[in-house]
């Protein structure tokens, strides 16, 4: 059928072949016939052939090579879906000969225009790496390139590739760190998981611990006894901890993801907070984790495991939610046991009575394994909380008369552990257990009782030899552990009460000597030598009493989750409690913060040089200082970081709001934006420099080429007061986004709110009165109900003048005879809103400076008016100005206006902003 | 990440396998079978199993085990969540996720799995994108395809994949534009024998069925958003708007989806819609027992309680039950030891009652634990927490959609008759004496 000329027949045949593959049957002998169809036009047939190829190419390498040329052709296809799927298949064919072809294809695809193809390239990197690890260096280059990608589609996949290929090359992340944090919200959910776990590791190497102060608090007592000098030192160390703004950025950008519907995302955010957030902020993850318990059984299992680990360290986190961990009869056994574990961890003096009452019902459960686990849990509570030890012990003794064997056995074991802590007071319990001994058949329990009697034979001098006698009778029928304990019991009794038990002991030792199990024979031989010294000395026998009857420390009953926190939460290794292949250790916090400037993204070399030049003096200061460097460098970091922090904060907000608004627009513009985002991002980064904090306030208008994330002030201006507007109030603000209507327009956001009592209808702009100003109106608002508000955007071309744009705003007042009402309003642009931020290199700047005479003017003005900048003129000239926002020469050229006027406007803007005044300088 | 996937039915047959990297022999599943045998019940199979060279992460759903093979470190939840998505996708495509459905559509299943993962990393998991790439099977389409030879496979990249709204496809058109929202709340509760609430909480979801043309931008607001304590959203919901204004603003996916799920603040007292009087006792001698259960409506806010079903997991020694029900009918399965009493509507005047004797295995000791009751119920047109949708607004499109909201309250894990010992912990274990 595959050879048939009819496509439908071929397709049918291929479907059957795929059916075979799915069932796991071998279909490899069809390879030659199938491979012929790889160039078929029918897409479905093609796909099925791909499936087949990927499955069998490894086995039939020579024949597989026949198909390669088809893929190479498809890689040039104009359809991005075909390009991508060709790359997918090509990279999935595990034939070593084609490695160079794959490498080439990946490199090409990494610079493809379509983000979908780039995403596929990121996947192909991992495949090639697993096929041929020698290509690592080349692949890292591609990864580095793709990490710079701004598309949310690519981000997750490339980070995945990074984790697989070069997880130790943390230096590649530095420059992309802030971008990744900001994009995180919009990345698809699977990518989010990967990025978050990578960033967790990254943050642990790059930021200093936010937990330090907490630790010091606990040590404060010790500090009291320290010598004065030490105290002084520690006082210096306790300088307030300031979180790196980038650290804060990470925490802030992941927080909303706790609300994700994807449980894996929620868990990864939870582990990020657990590992990175200051202690007092971790609590926000509790609710979300408890929510996950509503999900599928398997999800519950993993989440409960993680909660169990957390609840050991931080009881308080989950205590209010204790009822959520109550066991239901319908839960699976492993879920029940985990819940029990958590309840035990959470138990304290205050809630122990509730917990115990709950446990009491569990003991009666029909699921006996679970009942046994409950008894263990009771034992743990009893040791942890000394007030209830007696109550628990009594309860457990009562359980000894339970009908169920496992329950009794478990109680015996737990009682033994509890008794070890205070044996003398409980000889009656031991007597009671000796009485029960005949009825208990579970080996572990029998062994425990024997051990107890042996250990405390002085408390029960009469019963002990009797038990030994019984044991001698049944010795050969016992399990190995019971036999071992019998031998020990005999030895102990021989030492304490040899008169009564000498013969019995000898008898038992003889039985043990010929036992089938070599452990028992071994033990018997050893004991015999120890207690019945032979003629040839036996130096040890002198110490027999001290060896056998040494007081033994009580066992500590602790959680199985005690040490689990050495693994990163949420990982496979954590679940298994052992290191899985490919597990990446979470490093400890660095003692000193590494240079944070590595995360700054420079626009041009010049800027980076200037930043360095500026940083230098600060660094030198630290070095010359004799005090502990740690505190200082930290502080210096926060000082220089504060500027960038504030700008970062606002810009990230801006970008978020931007992405939100852009999701409203159609996908076409979105794509365009993504490609345009690059320059804008660069501009923003330059504001990361501490010195240009003024620039943050510089309100310079956004031109059309530059889009998205720039600083947007929230200041709004009044357009229409509610009194004049008959209940309608309008405000406007400049959104500083590229106007979608026209290149020359400035986009303005209007917010209408209805403060009246009646519904307003048909709000629209009736006529544009102002001459020469082009206004793009918003679409009429059909109705606006009382107490509601609505935001629309419009575009105004101010013609590069500060003249106000006036127009008429109309509404229908339905409640009064359906009369249309209109108001004259005007929008007054601040000069800054008309301008555009531009960064330029030092050379360009000096060129521009040379061009215009007035420019020197700018300098002087800025200095005089800026009280915050008491830098030397020269230093300012050298450094600050280069990274400053400046007028775009292109715009100037476009509008054919004299440069000088432009410059004056620029000066006035700077002056205005430095003074912080809103007055417009003419 | 995910290396291979095996689908295994309850009988232990591997009926589908798919490898995303090199082929792994199906003998790896032997470790799984071993664990399955040890666990006795499918629910008890541990989700993560370690084998010498691989890790097996499995989920059990609709009587099928989805066993995935992992080779390196990966968050287990990542895999579990993905496997559930796969199961949901099957359900979406074939109506149900059963062995028969998968076997019948094995080619589509394979194409789906191929699209969903690339090299073990999820590629497209949004149902809307997948449906554009691979069209779901319908009788009509398979007829047309067999005649014309056209394929089930989309030829271009779905537009959603590239946009920031990957969940919605472009160019959706409907003649009737409608948006329906179902507010479904479940009460999880544990009541003790006397009917006092030991633990109760309300969990709710809002499921939506949105069939609107174009790119509508919806805003859903509540009368009392403060009730919602903890929420999780479909990715389409704008979190910022929720944070600041407590409204749900979103561009909806096309078709059915879960808009949000929420948890109602536990401090508010939960209204328990029914009360139960139960008396199940076993006699020490004569190997028999008595059962007497009565149900009645309690806080129902004037609505009728429907679809009431009582399920009792009897102890193993109960051989048979001889009961009479005043309303509805009961069945007792002696193999699984489950007693099901299907009551139906709850009548205010005549309270349903189930009474009679239980016969026990002779000679066996009487069960020490009294069985607890699981109750299932449904109340139409009521969200028990009192949550109310205020209004739904649409922006971005001109037409007037048809809107509707439905409320349903159900019993989630509703358990009664739990024996809770009396106050003091001094009296611990008194019952066992």
pLDDT for the residue numbered A841:
60
Q: How many CA atoms lie within 13 A of B216 on its CB side?
A: 24
pLDDT tops 90 at residue B79: yes
pLDDT for the residue numbered A631:
37
Fold of A7-206: 1.25.10
When pLDDT is averaged across residues B168-178 and rounded to a whole number, the result is 82
pLDDT band at B206 (very low <50, low <70, confident <90, very high): very high
pLDDT for the residue numbered A657:
42
Closest Cβ–Cβ partner in B14, B43, B215 for A297: B43
When pLDDT is averaged across residues A29-58 and rounded to a whole number, the result is 83
A185: which chain B residues are within 8 Å (Cβ-Cβ)? 239
pLDDT band at A746 (very low <50, low <70, confident <90, very high): confident
Q: Is A715 on the interface with B (CB under 8 A)?
A: no
pLDDT for the residue numbered B44:
85
ipTM: 0.86
* Residue A367 near residue B40, CB atoms below 8 Å: no
Q: Is A55 on the interface with B (CB under 8 A)?
A: yes
Walk across the sheet containing B353-360 and list its strands. B274-282, B288-297, B353-360, B318-325
pLDDT tops 50 at residue A708: no
* Residue B252 near residue A699, CB atoms below 8 Å: no
Q: Is A373 on the interface with B (CB under 8 A)?
A: no
When pLDDT is averaged across residues B100-105 and rounded to a whole number, the result is 87
Domains A7-206 and A721-830 share a fold: no
pLDDT band at A603 (very low <50, low <70, confident <90, very high): very low
* Residue B188 near residue B147, CB atoms below 8 Å: no
- Alpha carbons A167 and A567: distance in angstroms, whole number: 17
Residue from B266, B425, B430 to probe the interface with A (highest A Cβ count within 10 Å):
B425
pLDDT for the residue numbered B87:
92
Tokens representing A803 are 């003249």
When pLDDT is averaged across residues A575-589 and rounded to a whole number, the result is 81
Share of chain B above pLDDT 90, in %: 12
Q: Which helix (H) or strand (E) holds A123?
A: helix A115-131
Interchain pair A667, B164: CB under 8 A: yes
Q: Please state which of the ranges A345-354, A430-439, A465-474, A656-665 shows the lowest mean pLDDT.
A: A656-665
Residue from B107, B148, B159, B338 to probe the interface with A (highest A Cβ count within 10 Å):
B107
Tokens representing A837 are 């931020």
pLDDT for the residue numbered A438:
79
A positions 418-477 inside 8 Å of B (CB):
none
pLDDT band at B80 (very low <50, low <70, confident <90, very high): very high
pLDDT band at A195 (very low <50, low <70, confident <90, very high): very high
Q: Please state which of the ranges A190-204, A375-389, A562-576, A701-715 shows the lowest mean pLDDT.
A: A701-715
A578: which chain B residues are within 8 Å (Cβ-Cβ)? 50
When pLDDT is averaged across residues B393-413 and rounded to a whole number, the result is 87
When pLDDT is averaged across residues A643-652 and rounded to a whole number, the result is 41
- For A503-538, the pLDDT digits (tens) are 888 888 888 888 888 888 888 888 888 877 666 656
pLDDT for the residue numbered B65:
92
CA distances from A518 to A446, A512, B218 (A): 21, 10, 77
pLDDT for the residue numbered A819:
65
When pLDDT is averaged across residues A342-358 and rounded to a whole number, the result is 86
Q: Please state which of the ranges A246-255, A326-335, A418-427, A469-478 shows the lowest mean pLDDT.
A: A418-427
- For B262-272, the pLDDT digits (tens) are 888 666 577 88
pLDDT tops 50 at residue A629: no
When pLDDT is averaged across residues B247-255 and rounded to a whole number, the result is 88
Walk across the sheet containing B389-395 and list its strands. B247-250, B217-222, B389-395
- For A438-478, the pLDDT digits (tens) are 777 778 888 888 888 888 877 777 888 888 888 888 888 88
Distance from CA of B247 to the nearest CA of A (A): 13
Interchain pair B413, A571: CB under 8 A: no
**Range ranked top by mean pLDDT from A75-84, A800-809, A895-904:** A75-84
pLDDT tops 50 at residue A190: yes
Interchain pair B232, A266: CB under 8 A: yes
Beta bridge partner(s), residue B282: B289
Buried b (16+ CB within 10 A) or exposed e, A195-229: bbbbbbbbbbebbbbbebeeeeeeeeeeeeeeeee
- Alpha carbons A83 and A224: distance in angstroms, whole number: 70
Which residues, 6+ apart, have CB-to-CB distance to A572 below 8 Å? Answer: A580, A583, B48, B55, B70, B73, B74, B75, B76
pTM beyond 0.80: no
Residue from A43, A572, A585, A656 to probe the interface with B (highest B Cβ count within 10 Å):
A572
pLDDT for the residue numbered A196:
92
* Residue A771 near residue A803, CB atoms below 8 Å: no
Interchain pair A190, B232: CB under 8 A: no
pLDDT band at A767 (very low <50, low <70, confident <90, very high): low
pLDDT tops 70 at residue B122: yes
| Closest by CA position to A244, among listed A178, A191, A198, A298 | A178
Please say whether the structural domain A721-830 has been given the CATH code 2.60.40.1230. yes
| Closest by CA position to B12, among listed B35, B361, A95 | B35
Domain boundaries, chain A: 7-206, 440-553, 721-830, 835-915
pLDDT for the residue numbered B182:
92
Interchain pair A666, B170: CB under 8 A: yes
Q: Is A323 on the interface with B (CB under 8 A)?
A: yes
Between residues A808 and B236, which one has the greater pLDDT?
Answer: B236
pLDDT for the residue numbered A189:
87
Distance from CA of A126 to the nearest CA of B (A): 8
DSSP letter (8 states) at residue A687: T
Q: How many CA atoms lie within 13 A of A647 on its CB side?
A: 28
pLDDT for the residue numbered A582:
79
């Amino acid at each position: 059928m595959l050879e048939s000329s009819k496509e439908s027949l071929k397709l049918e045949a291929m479907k059957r072949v795929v059916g075979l593959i799915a069932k796991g049957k071998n279909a490899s002998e069809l390879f030659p016939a199938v491979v012929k169809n790889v160039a078929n036009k029918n897409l479905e047939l093609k796909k099925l052939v791909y499936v087949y190829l990927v499955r069998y190419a490894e086995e039939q390498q020579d024949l597989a090579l026949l198909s390669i040329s088809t893929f190479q052709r498809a890689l040039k296809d104009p359809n991005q879906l075909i390009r991508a799927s060709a790359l997918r298949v090509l990279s999935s064919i595990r034939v070593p000969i084609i490695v160079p072809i794959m490498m080439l294809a990946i490199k090409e695809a990494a610079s493809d225009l379509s983000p979908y193809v780039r995403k596929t390239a990121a996947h192909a990197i991992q495949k090639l790496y697993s096929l041929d690890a020698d290509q690592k260096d080349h692949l890292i280059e591609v990864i580095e390139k793709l990490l710079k990608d701004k598309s949310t589609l690519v981000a997750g996949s490339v980070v995945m590739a990074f984790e697989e290929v070069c997880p130790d090359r943390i230096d590649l992340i530095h420059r992309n760190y802030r971008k990744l944090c900001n994009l995180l919200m919009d990345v698809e959910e699977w990518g989010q998981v990967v990025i978050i776990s990578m960033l967790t590791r990254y943050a642990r190497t790059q930021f200093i611990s936010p937990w330090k102060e907490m630790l010091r608090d606990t040590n404060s007592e010790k500090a009291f006894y320290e010598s004065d000098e030490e105290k002084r030192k520690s006082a210096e160390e306790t300088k307030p901890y300031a979180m790196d703004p980038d650290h804060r950025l990470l925490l802030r950008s992941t927080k909303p993801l706790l609300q994700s519907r994807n449980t894996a995302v929620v868990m990864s955010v939870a582990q990020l907070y657990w590992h990175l957030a200051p202690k007092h902020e971790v609590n926000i993850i509790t609710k979300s984790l408890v929510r996950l318990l509503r999900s599928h059984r398997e999800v519950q299992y993993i989440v409960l495991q993680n909660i169990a680990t957390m609840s050991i360290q931080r009881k308080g986190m989950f205590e209010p939610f204790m009822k959520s961990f109550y066991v239901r009869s319908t839960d699976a056994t492993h879920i029940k046991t985990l819940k029990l574990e958590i309840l035990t961890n959470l138990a304290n003096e205050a809630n122990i009575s509730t917990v115990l009452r709950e446990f009491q019902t569990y003991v009666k459960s029909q699921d006996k394994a679970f009942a046994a686990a409950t008894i263990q849990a009771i034992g743990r509570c009893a040791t942890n909380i000394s007030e209830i030890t007696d109550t628990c012990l009594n309860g457990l003794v009562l359980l000894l008369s339970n009908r169920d064997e496992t329950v009794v056995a478990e109680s015996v074991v737990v009682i033994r552990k509890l008794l070890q802590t205070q044996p003398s007071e409980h000889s009656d319990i031991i007597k009671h257990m000796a009485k029960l001994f005949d009825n208990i058949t579970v080996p572990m329990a029998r062994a425990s009782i024997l051990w107890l009697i042996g250990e405390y034979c002085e408390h029960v001098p009469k019963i002990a030899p009797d038990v030994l006698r019984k044991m001698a009778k049944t010795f050969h029928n016992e399990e190995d552990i019971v036999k071992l304990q019998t031998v020990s019991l005999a030895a102990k009794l021989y030492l304490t009460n040899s008169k009564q038990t000498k013969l019995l002991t000898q008898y038992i030792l003889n039985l043990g000597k010929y036992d089938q199990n070599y452990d028992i024979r071994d033990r018997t031989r050893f004991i015999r030598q120890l207690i019945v010294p032979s003629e040839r000395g036996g130096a040890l026998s002198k110490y027999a009493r001290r060896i056998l009857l040494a007081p033994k420390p009580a066992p500590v009953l602790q959680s199985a989750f005690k040490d689990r926190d050495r693994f990163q939460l949420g990982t496979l290794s954590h679940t298994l409690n052992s290191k899985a292949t490919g597990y990446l250790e979470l490093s400890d916090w660095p003692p000193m913060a590494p240079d944070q400037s590595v995360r700054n993204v420079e626009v041009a070399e010049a800027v980076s040089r200037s930043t360095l030049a500026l940083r230098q003096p600060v660094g030198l200061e630290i070095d010359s200082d004799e005090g502990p460097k740690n505190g200082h460098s930290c502080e210096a970091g926060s000082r220089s970081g504060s500027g960038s922090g504030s700008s970062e904060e606002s810009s990230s907000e801006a970008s978020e709001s931007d992405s939100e608004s852009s999701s409203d627009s159609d996908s076409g513009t979105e794509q365009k934006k993504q490609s345009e985002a690059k320059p804008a991002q660069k501009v923003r980064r330059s504001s990361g420099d501490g010195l240009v904090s003024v620039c943050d306030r510089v309100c310079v208008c956004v031109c059309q080429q530059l889009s998205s994330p720039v600083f947007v002030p929230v200041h709004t201006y009044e357009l229409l007061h509610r009194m004049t507007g008959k209940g309608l109030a309008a405000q406007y603000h400049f959104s500083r986004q590229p106007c979608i209507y026209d290149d020359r327009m400035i986009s303005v956001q209007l917010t209408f709110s209805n403060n009246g009592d009646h519904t307003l209808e048909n709000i629209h702009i009736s006529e544009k009165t102002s001459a020469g100003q082009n206004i793009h109106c918003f679409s009429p608002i059909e109705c606006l109900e009382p107490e509601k508000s609505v935001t629309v955007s419009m575009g105004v071309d101010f013609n590069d003048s500060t003249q106000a744009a006036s127009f008429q705003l109309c509404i229908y007042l339905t409640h009064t005879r359906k009369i249309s009402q209109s108001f004259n309003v005007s929008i007054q642009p601040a000069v800054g809103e008309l301008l555009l931020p531009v960064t330029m290199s030092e050379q360009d700047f000096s060129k521009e400076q040379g061009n215009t005479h007035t420019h020197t003017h700018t300098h002087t003005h800025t200095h005089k008016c800026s009280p915050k900048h008491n830098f030397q003129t020269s230093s300012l000239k050298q450094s600050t100005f280069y990274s400053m926002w400046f007028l775009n020469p292109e715009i100037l050229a476009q509008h054919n206006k004299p440069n000088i006027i432009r410059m004056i406007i620029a000066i006035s803007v700077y002056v205005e902003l430095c003074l912080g005044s809103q007055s417009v300088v003419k | 990440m995910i290396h291979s996937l095996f689908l295994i039915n309850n009988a232990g047959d591997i009926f589908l396998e798919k490898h995303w990297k090199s082929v792994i022999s199906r003998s790896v599943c032997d470790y799984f079978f071993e664990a399955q045998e040890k666990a006795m019940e499918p629910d008890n199979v541990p989700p993560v199993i370690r084998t010498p060279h691989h890790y097996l992460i499995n989920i059990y759903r609709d009587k099928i085990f989805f066993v995935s093979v992992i080779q390196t470190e990966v968050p287990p939840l990542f895999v579990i969540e993905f496997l559930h998505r796969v199961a949901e996708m099957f359900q979406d495509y074939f109506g149900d996720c059963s062995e028969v459905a998968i076997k019948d559509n094995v080619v589509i299943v394979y194409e789906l799995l191929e699209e969903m993962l690339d090299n073990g990393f999820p590629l497209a998991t949004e149902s809307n994108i997948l449906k554009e790439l691979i069209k779901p099977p319908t009788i009509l389409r398979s007829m047309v395809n067999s005649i014309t030879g056209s394929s089930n496979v989309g030829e271009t990249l779905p537009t959603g994949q590239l946009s920031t709204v990957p969940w919605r496809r472009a160019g959706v058109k409907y003649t009737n534009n409608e948006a329906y929202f179902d507010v479904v709340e479940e009460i999880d509760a544990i009541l003790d024998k006397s009917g006092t609430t030991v633990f109760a909480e309300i969990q709710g979801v809002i499921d939506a069925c949105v069939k609107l043309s174009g790119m509508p931008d919806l805003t859903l607001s509540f009368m009392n958003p403060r009730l919602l304590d903890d929420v999780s959203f479909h990715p389409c919901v704008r979190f910022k708007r929720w944070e600041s204004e407590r409204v749900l603003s979103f561009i909806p996916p096309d078709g059915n989806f879960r808009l949000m799920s929420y948890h109602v603040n536990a401090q508010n007292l939960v209204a328990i819609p029914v009360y139960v009087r139960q008396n199940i006792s076993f006699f020490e001698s004569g190997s028999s027992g008595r059962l007497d259960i009565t149900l009645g409506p309690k806080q129902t806010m004037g609505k009728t309680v429907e679809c009431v079903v009582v399920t009792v997991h009897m102890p193993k020694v109960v051989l048979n039950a001889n009961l009479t029900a005043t309303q509805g009918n009961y069945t007792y399965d002696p193999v699984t030891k489950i007693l099901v009493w299907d009551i139906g509507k709850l009548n205010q005047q005549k309270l349903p009652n189930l009474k009679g004797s239980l016969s026990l295995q002779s000679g066996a000791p009487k069960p020490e634990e009294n069985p607890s009751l699981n109750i299932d119920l449904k109340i139409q047109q009521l969200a028990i927490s009192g949550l109310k949708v205020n209004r739904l607004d649409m922006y971005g499109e001109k037409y007037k959609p048809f809107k509707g909201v439905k409320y349903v309250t159900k019993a989630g894990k509703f358990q009664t008759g739990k024996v809770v010992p009396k106050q003091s912990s001094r009296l611990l274990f008194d019952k066992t004496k």
